[in-house]
A and B are shown apart, each in its own frame.
Chain A
Amino acid sequence: MSVLLVAVGAAVGAPLRYLVDRLVQARHESLFPWGTLTVNAIGSALLGFLAGLPADRTVLAALGAGFCGALTTYSTFSYETLRLARDGARFSAAVNIVASLVVGLGAGYLGLTVAQAIGGAR
């Protein structure tokens, strides 16, 4: 059952990463990979939120491992960073590393905090 839910979540999450990336890129001219940063932040916030809720294996499989896992990406993040560094945009590469870590972790903790606030209010 979990396997099927992971598959369904990923079937939606992966194309959504592509579409959000396109949408974000269409709105700015810079070389900086805002699109990937956006999907990684959204996915980290959602997974942080899920991790803060009472554990439900079904939800974690579908939304966590499937949807959030496929929405976010490490391969694109590191490829972009390498390309920026190689293309002479070393500062952008460094900013991409720091921003991805700070924004990703911040988003994750924000999601976790919201989940705990909701859980605590019940």
Chain B
Amino acid sequence: MTEPLVTPVDSDVDLRVPAERRELRPSPWPVLAAISAGGVVGALSRFGLTEAFPYRPGGFAWATFTINVSGCLLIGALMVLIEQVWTGRRLLRPFLGVGVLGGFTTFSTYVVDIQQTVAASAAGTALLYLAATLTCALVAVWIGTTLTGWAVRRHRANQDRTAAGAT
């Protein structure tokens, strides 16, 4: 019998998923190197954007907001593709999910943005940034999984129809 299909709740690593529990064996280095390389790509993209679009003290941190929300949209899409389309590619989730998107999005900058905006006597903007990031991030990850899931199903249905027509 095959292993029961458990899909991860934690997109970085979920030890309830047998393949993820085993992925550091026999050697941990391929997975760790993929995460590290992806993390560099993600963090440099984030650094480039935040340097290019700085925000004035007390302003809305648009760059980090956009980074976090777009990263959430992409992780939603990526996890559906990894679970349903690109299955069995061992380093894909470590590189793109854990590395690139995990390194691109950030919780610490979000927290410090809020603190610094409060410190600049703009508590209203800080609260708006806090709530807007949270809401848009959750909506984005939902849109990412829903649209990608729909696209995959539609593509499969079309393939089935073509195959049925050919026979």
Contacts and interface: CB of A to CB of B under 8 A. Distances in A.
Q: Chain B interface residue count: which class?
A: 35 or more
Contact of A107 (B79, B104, B111): B111
A66 B43 CA distance: 6
Contacts, number: 203
Interface string B85-115: 0000000001001110111111111111011
A78 B140 CA distance: 9
Contacts of B116: 51
Contact of B15 (A26, A48, A79, A100): A26
Contacts of B68: 74-75
A10 B31 CA distance: 15
Interface of B: 8-15, 24, 31-32, 35-40, 42-44, 46-47, 50, 68, 71-72, 74-76, 79, 94, 97-99, 101-112, 114-116, 130, 133-134, 137-138, 140-142, 145
Interface of A: 2-3, 6-7, 9-15, 17-19, 21-22, 25-26, 31, 33, 35-36, 40, 43-44, 46-48, 51, 61, 64-66, 68-84, 87, 97, 100-101, 104-105, 107-109, 112
